[in-house]
Amino acid sequence: MIKSHVKEIVDHCFAEGVKLGHWSEAASGRYTIEVPKREGQGDFSTNFALVAAGVDKRKPRDLAAQFAQLLGSQPMIDRVEIAGPGFINLFLDKNIWATVLAPIYDQGERFGCSEVGAGRKVLVEFVSANPTGPLSVGHGRNAVLGDAIARVLAASGYAVQREYYFNDAGRQMRVLGESTKARYLELLGLPNVFPEDGYQGDYIYDIARSMIDEGNDAFKEAEVAVFKNRAQQAIFADIDATLKRIGIGFDTYFNEHTLYEDGRITQVVAELRAKDLVYEKEGATWFKTSEFGQEQDRVIIKSTGEPTYRLPDIAYHLDKFKRGYDWMINVFGSDHIATVPDVMAGIRALGFDDSRITVVLYQFVTLLRDGKQVKMSTRKATFVTVDELVDEVGPDALRFFFLMRKPDNLIEFDLDLAKKQSQENPVFYVQYAHARLCSIEKQAREQGVTVDSAAEVLHRLVEPEEFALLKTLADYPSLVAGAAADLAPHRVIFYLMELAGQFHGFYNKHKVLTDDRELVRARLYLCGALKRVFRNGLQLAGLTAPESM
């Protein structure tokens, strides 16, 4: 928004300087325009002089002085200062900042959206939890992170598709069937052998019990596959219901077993073999990953004849390429960090461009209660489920806390804090800002004051707290675009927390509804824009925007 206008001015002055022979074109596209971190350093700052000095072998401050002269003639610029070794600080005409408000009203729920993605087809694969048990808290972070990534990409003009890779093949599914059958026979009082590494937890009993309710002992002679299918269906229905509770859905589901049924697993091995990239050793089939930068080769088919996870993952990603996606994003737990290079090696080996794949790795979640780690679930297995967490803190707090940290940072989820109805709780703090703005509007209506347009009174917004709010509002569109480009939806949460802090500070220091009707109109117009941006930001993060709290 305003930053983009400033960039246009800086770029124009750079081009003018090239024409005048002040500097060469070598620095084109290499300098940046940033918001200074310290007060007093201007509204924006550019490192042009430092960059140009490096390529033109000139003194930075000399170049900065020439550049400052060109900038000083621009109407938006109030003054220019040179700082340190050659940074150029720009101070804008203060009246410029209020111009951010009209576009917020004009664009409404589209404010912050853009077309920078230009319709590029993007597939975001996330959750993809094995259908062997309820979603754990770790899966919950995956779900919220993946959904938030998809949201910021869609808001930035990408054609986004959400996909769940359904791991319904392999050894873990066989063990699930064996576990369910053993519990079924146990409940009937019949002899059974529970697998040594079987799936624990009451949910297996629940599935077995439902089969007894349906047909008593009718399944006692059934094959393990029958129990596997019933368990898989029940568990995935549970997973789907959990995801819906936190506002997450998918456009497509990809079943792993199809890779086996239509021969794509076999085809991958054949193509690697044709390129002399596989060999047999100790009864297993090995992929020469060492030829693609890995320290050692990897097994892709065990001596038992069962593929390792690498092989179907390679086949699955080849299918993504063939479906024509421009960008493929995978959201994985950090435990995948050592396996991702193997899959990428397979993709390169088969002639595909692995740069079109981005893997977002996230760290794990620790739950705290009374300052102590929560280790056990009260109802299911040996982990806390997403359902239990939603029951305790609600979907908004769950999503907010999962997005409060960068993906590569560990999360300590403070259950006590997440439930507090006070401004100590960050999600309450942000949502309360929106509710407070709604309350201000309601009070204004009750006093007969409404604001449709306020262009002629916006010069009354002169307080430092008002300028801080206007500047932060102006930054929202670039914030969203940057969050999409860098797959960093946590920035939306950071932004909302900053904006909430600024608004609460303004509210505590200045009255909106006063006897000065001109000032009231100006501040109400500002408040209406704030309410819209809070609503847009909360919705972008998948949270509600309550009108009262």
- DSSP category for residue 308: P
Output the CA angle 495-499-504, nearest 5 degrees.
Answer: 150
How many degrees, rounded to 5, is the angle at CA 274 between CA 273 and CA 277?
45
Architecture of domain 2-92: 2-Layer Sandwich (3.30)
pLDDT tier for residue 455 given thresholds of 50, 70 and 90 = confident
Report whether 389 contacts 380 (CB < 8 A).
Answer: no
Location of each CATH 1.10.730.10 domain in the chain: 423-540
Distances (CA, A) of 158 to 161, 248, 341: 9, 18, 26
pLDDT tens digits for range 106-152: 999 999 999 999 999 999 999 999 889 999 999 999 999 999 999 99
Instruction: Using alpha carbons, select from 94, 93, 83 the residue that is nearest to residue 61.
Output: 83
Q: How far is CA 541 from its chain centroid?
A: 8
Paired strand residues for 81: 89
The torsion angles phi and psi of 361, rounded to 5 degrees, stand at -100, 130
Q: Tens digit of pLDDT for each residue in 245-295?
A: 999 999 999 999 999 999 999 999 999 999 999 999 999 999 999 999 888
According to the model, what pLDDT value does residue 381 have?
59
Residue 378: which pLDDT band, with cuts at 50, 70 and 90?
Answer: very low
**pLDDT value of residue 12:** 95
Q: Has this prediction a pTM greater than 0.95?
A: no
Helix (H) or strand (E) holding 199: none
Task: Give tens-digit pLDDT for 305-346.
Answer: 989 989 999 999 999 999 999 999 999 999 888 889 999 999
Q: What average pLDDT does range 450-463 have in this prediction?
A: 89
Q: How many residues can be counted in the chain?
A: 549
Mean pLDDT of the chain: 94
**CA–CA dist 168, 387 (Å, integer):** 22
Write the CA distances from 464 to 15, 205, 467, 475, 505, integer angstroms: 34, 63, 5, 17, 11
Residue 102 backbone dihedrals phi, psi, to 5 degrees: -60, -45
pLDDT at position 336 is: 87
The CATH 3.30.1360.70 portion of the chain extends over 2-92
* pLDDT tens-place string over residues 339-374: 899 999 999 999 999 999 999 999 999 999 999 988
225 Cβ contact list (under 8 Å, min separation 6): 177
**Which run of H or of E encompasses 2?**
helix 2-19
Question: Architecture of 423-540 per CATH?
Answer: Orthogonal Bundle (1.10)
Identify any residues that bridge with 369 across adjacent strands, giving them in sequence order. 372
pLDDT tens sequence across 63-117:
999 999 999 888 889 999 999 999 999 999 998 999 999 999 999 999 999 999 9
Find where tokens 């309360």 sit. Answer: 432
- Containing 361, the helix (H) or strand (E) segment is strand 357-362
Dist CA 231 CA 243 (whole Å): 18
Sign of CA dihedral 241, 167, 152, 432: positive
Q: Give the whole-angstrom CA distance, residue 412 versus residue 394.
A: 17
